[in-house]
Amino acid sequence: MSKVVVTGRVPEPAVESLRAEHEVWMHEDITPISREALLEAVAGADAILSLLTEKIDAEVLDAAGSQLQILANVAVGYNNVDVPACAERGVVVTNTPGVLTEATADIAFGLILMTTRRLGEGERVIRSQTPWAWGMFYLLGSGLQGKTLGVIGLGGIGVATARRARAFGMRIAYASRSECPAELAEELQATRMDTDELLAHADVVSLHCPYSEATHHLIGAEQLARMKDTAYLVNTARGPIVDEAALVKALRDGQIAGAGLDVFEKEPAVHEGLLELDNVALVPHLGSATVETRTAMAQLAADNALAVLGGRDPLTQVQP
């Protein structure tokens, strides 16, 4: 029997499958575990299931001890994990790709609709009991049909968002490290562009690249200045991909038309400037937040832990 530490509460079926074979300790509270409690809890763990709110670095790995075999992050993004530090200690790292693709694309498209059709603004009118009447020119948004969605990072979530956009009659442009397979390009009628070209061309820019040093502030003042003043920016990837201060300035100056954000640079803090702007839709990191998806994410992380502890290959390993 090995010791499995789960750093935050996850859906029960995953915990049960771990308990069937191992001793499990889980941080039961719904609020993130403190750093101090984390360092204490991981001691002696053979496997750790971590949430994206926990920074897993050398200090945590050393606090766990040399018996640690696997760090299963319950998220597709793993920028909270020091992967080289895990590799140095022979700890396998896994993430949860695939199972949250559709849910996250739904939120990306939800934000596209919220911003282009001014749904948040409209809701605030009603909730604040501001007098209103149907009017030919009242709260007019921007239609999507015939417009171009620019996808930055055409991985699974980028593709799923592009498919939704096609159903809304949009054209697809993408910027990605590699050319997408011909069959997919044909299905999406997707045109590959470099990032600068895409920014200048797209009516909606949606970010779907992983966060790393290379994508830190990928969208800053210079990139926002390239966008059309009628265009929208949507981020469901990771907050620090966007320079939030530059975004606030671009929105204030009317350099772009609006933004929809599910993730924030200093999450859970949100730049005050964003809160004052009406042309921004803000939601609290809900990309994968459905019962079905969270259940599947936790189960995939548990299955990865069970595989490695059982001497089998992990299902979804992050390559060091």
Give residues in contact with ligand GLV (CB under 6 A): 52, 75-77, 100, 287-288
Catalytic entry in 22, 238, 271, 294: 238
For residue 299, which amino acid is it? Q
CA 77, chain centre distance (Å): 7
Nearest-approach distance from CB 121 to ligand GLV, in angstroms: 26
Minimum gap (Å) between residue 18 Cβ and ligand GLV: 19
Which residue, 46 or 153, has its beta carbon nearer to ligand GLV?
153
Q: Which is nearer to ligand GLV, 54 or 203 (CB)?
A: 54
Single-letter amino acid, residue 91: V
Known active-site residue 271: no
CB 175 within 8 A of CB 194: yes
- Single out the catalytic residue among 27, 208, 285, 294: 285
Pick 224 or 300: Cβ nearer ligand GLV: 300
Q: How far is the CB of 75 from ligand GLV (least distance, A)?
A: 3
Instruction: Count CA within 13 A, CB hemisphere, residue 206.
Output: 34
Rounded (10°) angle between helices 291-309 and 101-116: 150
Q: How far apart are CA 6 and CA 267, in angstroms?
A: 22
- Which of 148/288 has CB closer to ligand GLV? 288
Q: With beta carbons less than 8 A apart as the criterion, state whether 279 and 259 touch.
A: yes
Residue 252 catalytic? no
CB of 108 to ligand GLV, least distance (A): 12
Identify any residues that bridge with 6 across adjacent strands, giving them in sequence order: 26, 49
Which residue numbers are catalytic?
A: 238, 267, 285
